[in-house]
Copies of this chain bind each other. A is one copy, B any other.
Amino acid sequence: MTGNVVAFDSNYALVPKSEIHFRIEKLQRWMASEALDGAFLFQHVDIYYFSGTLQRSILFVPVSGQPLLMVIKSLKRAQTESPLEQILPLKGRNALPPILSDFNYTGLNRVGLELDVLPAGHYLWFKKTFPHIDGVDISPGIRGLRMIKSAYEIDQIRRSAAVTDKGYQTIRGLIREGMSELELDGLLFSIGRKNGHLGLMRIRGWNQEMMNAHVFTGPGGAAVSCCETPGNGMGISPALPQGAGFGRVTRNQPIYIDYGVNLNGYHSDQTRTLIIGALAPTLARAHACAKEILDVLEDQIRPGMACREIYQKAKDMATEQGFADHFMGHGEGQVRFLGHGLGLEIDEFPVIATKFDMPVEEGMVFALEPKFSFPGIGIVGMEDDYLVTAKGLERLTLTEQILLKI
C-alpha cells in the first residue's frame, strides 16, 4: 500500500506468493528441459500468470535465478500486487538492454517468445535489438504449463462457476414471452457484474472475440458465422456477427443461453437450454442426447484417456441417435471439438478434439459442450465445466443438468 495512491479493498484478492513461486519454478524446469536460457513474456495474461500483476510490463524469466519484472505502468501498483522480488521501472522497451546488462544477462543465446500473440512489430524490434539471440516460440509450452491447475486456481474456477449458476437461477425468474435476446443478454451481464464478473472474457486466439453471453431464441441460434463454436448466432450487425440477434422469447422455441463469468481472472463457461412450453420432439430428443453424452462422459473419463477418444465417443453417440449432421453445428458451421480448457483464457488446453492425442491428466479443467443445431429451427444443448481428478471427472458447474422450464 503506497500512501493514498493505491488502497486495496480487502476483497481485492492478490495471487498468493507461493503460487507465483511455484509457477516460476515450473517454467524454469521446463525451460531447462528445452535448453532455453530464459523467456521474455510480453502478453498481459501470461505476465499475470507468472507475476500476479497485469500492470504494463515485460517479464524476463531466466532459466535459473530471479525473474525481472520491468514495469512501464504502474510501477507502484505492480510492486504492491506482485510477490516477485525484482520489480524495476522500464521507460519503454528500448530501456531493456541496459537492464539486462546490469543483471549480467549478457550471454543469452536461445530464449522463448510468445509468437502466437506477440505482434510482428514487437518481434522485429526484438530481433533488431538482440540480433544474436535466437527467439523461439514457447506459447505451446506455456499453454501446456498453464493447462494443469493448482488448488488455488481450481478454487477460483469453482467460485466463478457459482456466479454463473446465480446467473441462470436469476434469469430463470425474469424471462417472459416477448423479451428480446438483447435484453436477456444485458440482464445476464449485469447479474454477473454485480456478483464480481470482471466485465470482460479473455480468448487467446488471433482475431477471436469472446462475448459474455450468447442468447438465442429459436432460428437465430442455428445461424452460421465466424466463431469456433457450435452456436454462433446472427448478432445484430455484420460488425460483430455473433451472439444475440433480433429474436424474442417465443413459446415452444428453445432459449439457448451460453453464459460465462470471469471471476478474479478465471473463467467459467456454461450452457443451458430453457423453454416456455415444450420443445419440438426432435429438439427434445437432441437435448436428451446431449444429457446422455455428458452422463456417459462423466462416468467414463479417467486420467490417461486421449482427448480425441472423448470427442469420438460423443460423436458416436450422436451418430447412433441419428444426429450426426447436427452434432456441434451443421454444414459449414460444424466444429470438430467437444470441449476446451478453461483458466485465465477461455481457449486454454486441452482441446477435446480429433486432432488432440494428448491424454487427460489430473488437474486439467475443461468445458464439455454437446450441442445440436438445426437450420431454420434453432440450437439445443448443454455445457458444463469439469475438473479431472485421480478418480475421474468432478463437475464444477452447479446448475441442474435439465431442460430449464420457465
Looking at the complex, which of A121-129, A283-291, A389-397 is the stretch in contact with chain B? A121-129
- Once the chains bind, are B332 and A224 in contact (CB under 8 Å)? no
Q: How far is the CA of A262 from the CA of B139 in the complex (A)?
A: 32
A270 at the interface (CB under 8 A from B): no
Taking CB atoms, residues of chain B closer than 8 Å to A199 are 185, 189, 211-212, 240, 243-244
Interface 0/1 of A1-44, CB less than 8 Å to B:
00111111101111100000000000000000000000000111
Interface 0/1 of A119-142, CB less than 8 Å to B:
111111000000000000101000
- Once the chains bind, are B207 and A194 in contact (CB under 8 Å)? no
Taking CB atoms, residues of chain B closer than 8 Å to A100 are none
Taking CB atoms, residues of chain B closer than 8 Å to A56 are 207, 226
A280 at the interface (CB under 8 A from B): no
A282 at the interface (CB under 8 A from B): no
Taking CB atoms, residues of chain B closer than 8 Å to A198 are 235-237, 239-240
Question: How far does the Cβ of A339 sit from chain B's closest Cβ, in whole Å?
Answer: 20
- Once the chains bind, are B185 and A238 in contact (CB under 8 Å)? no
A364 at the interface (CB under 8 A from B): no
Looking at the complex, which of A46-54, A298-306, A313-321, A380-388 is the stretch in contact with chain B? A46-54
Tell me the residues in window 229-258 of chain A with beta carbons closer than 8 Å to chain B beta carbons: 232, 234-241, 243-246
Q: Given A54-B238, A239-B198, A344-B239, does the pair A123, B123 have CB atoms closer than 8 Å? A: yes
